Chains A and B, each alone.
Chain A
């Protein structure tokens, strides 16, 4: 149990060990650790950024959705208005058309009445003439009395 040259040998071994550790072992390991640390830090930062961006995108999407809803409501309103207008217009048109048709029918009726009156008048004139012939038992010259007949038929027409 004495101090001897072993001490020197051990010191040399120790020096070699420390030297080797300093040159070959510590730097690469600590470099790997540092690199991983920065990688993790970068990853965490990227994740945070991504989260922020996602929140932003969500907000933007909500805004866009809101705008789209408003726009669609506008479009629907406009369309409804337009549809109402079209309905009103067509109603008006139909009414006008109906009135026009009624007018036309009335005119036709008038015309037919006039025709019927005319034919009735002539028939009445013929009948009157025949009656007068029978009453007078005498042939009346049609040509001579046309004036009278015309006068009468005119009076009938006025009646």
Chain B
């Protein structure tokens, strides 16, 4: 996998090059440094910005920054209130983190596809994939964390006995159908993290791919295509962050409620 090899393949090489992560290590112990780096930087941006506002938060007339942050907070809070009826210290901050983090990941998609890789290239880094949501590891890390929380809350709220009974006897309450129920519940529970991760990944991967394809066009056509796509993408990136957050809330509220 060298640059020359990609260059030889023309436009396909260009695309593959753009979608290859900057990685170290072998086999399972491979680390995608670009994904780790950008998601950490974006996460820190989110945390530091919100922290700086939270420190100066006042109950009196808020300034513009505080109003903006409060708008997001109230939006998330409203979403949680709408679908989650239990009491939890974790779920609101969790939803906020997911929403902002995923939004910032996706936002990286709006940077012109060649800028950051070019800068990285000058620093001697050959591969650079800047949008963390186009890395399955990133989206699955989120959805698996949510999945762990789903299992944790199922066990915590319902107890191991009740949860086990639900797995065995739901949806068909008959001992003969226990194997079938297990299979059904297994698929149901597994579908949650997989659908969460793949939805986000698929949308953003496809979006990024189209940006790369547009970047292959002659320069005078590029703005005509990339501008509408970028505007449309503003909707997509917000929507995907929103969907991820809402589904997380819904899954967790399901874990809190008994059937």
Give chain A interface residues in 1-60, CB to chain B under 8 Å.
Answer: 1-11, 13-18, 20-22, 24-26, 28-33, 35-36, 39
- B29 A33 Cβ-Cβ under 8 A: no
- B31 A29 Cβ-Cβ under 8 A: no
Query: For chain B, which range describes its interface: under 10, 10 to 19, 20 to 34, or 35 or more residues?
Result: 35 or more
Separation of A111 and B77 alpha carbons in the complex (Å)? 122
Given known A-B contacts A18-B97, A20-B47, A29-B70, A6 and B92 have beta carbons under 8 A apart: no
Give chain B interface residues in 32-70, CB to chain A under 8 Å.
Answer: 32, 35-36, 39-40, 43, 46-47, 50-51, 53-55, 57-60, 62, 66, 69-70
Separation of A22 and B94 alpha carbons in the complex (Å)? 7
* Residue numbers in B under 8 Å from A20 (CB-CB): 47, 51
**Nearest chain B CB to A43 CB, angstrom units:** 12
Partner of B141 from A14, A16, A28, A30 at Cβ < 8 Å: A14
Separation of A48 and B40 alpha carbons in the complex (Å)? 51
Give chain B interface residues in 117-148, CB to chain A under 8 Å.
Answer: 132, 135-138, 140-142, 144-145
**Nearest chain B CB to A103 CB, angstrom units:** 96
Given known A-B contacts A21-B97, A25-B50, A28-B57, A4 and B29 have beta carbons under 8 A apart: yes
- A26 B92 Cβ-Cβ under 8 A: yes
Separation of A114 and B30 alpha carbons in the complex (Å)? 162
- A4 B145 Cβ-Cβ under 8 A: no
Query: How many residues on chain A are close to B (CB under 8 Å)?
Result: 32
Partner of A29 from B29, B57, B90, B135 at Cβ < 8 Å: B57
**Nearest chain B CB to A9 CB, angstrom units:** 5
Separation of A36 and B70 alpha carbons in the complex (Å)? 11
- A4 B40 Cβ-Cβ under 8 A: no
- A4 B27 Cβ-Cβ under 8 A: yes
- A9 B97 Cβ-Cβ under 8 A: no
Partner of B40 from A1, A13, A25 at Cβ < 8 Å: A13
Residue pairs across A and B with Cβ atoms less than 8 A apart, 17 shown, are A2-B30, A2-B136, A4-B30, A4-B137, A5-B25, A6-B23, A6-B35, A7-B141, A9-B141, A13-B141, A17-B46, A17-B47, A17-B101, A18-B94, A26-B93, A32-B66, A35-B59
Known A13-B39, A16-B43, A21-B97; further 5 A-B contacts with Cβ < 8 A? A14-B101, A14-B141, A14-B145, A29-B69, A30-B92
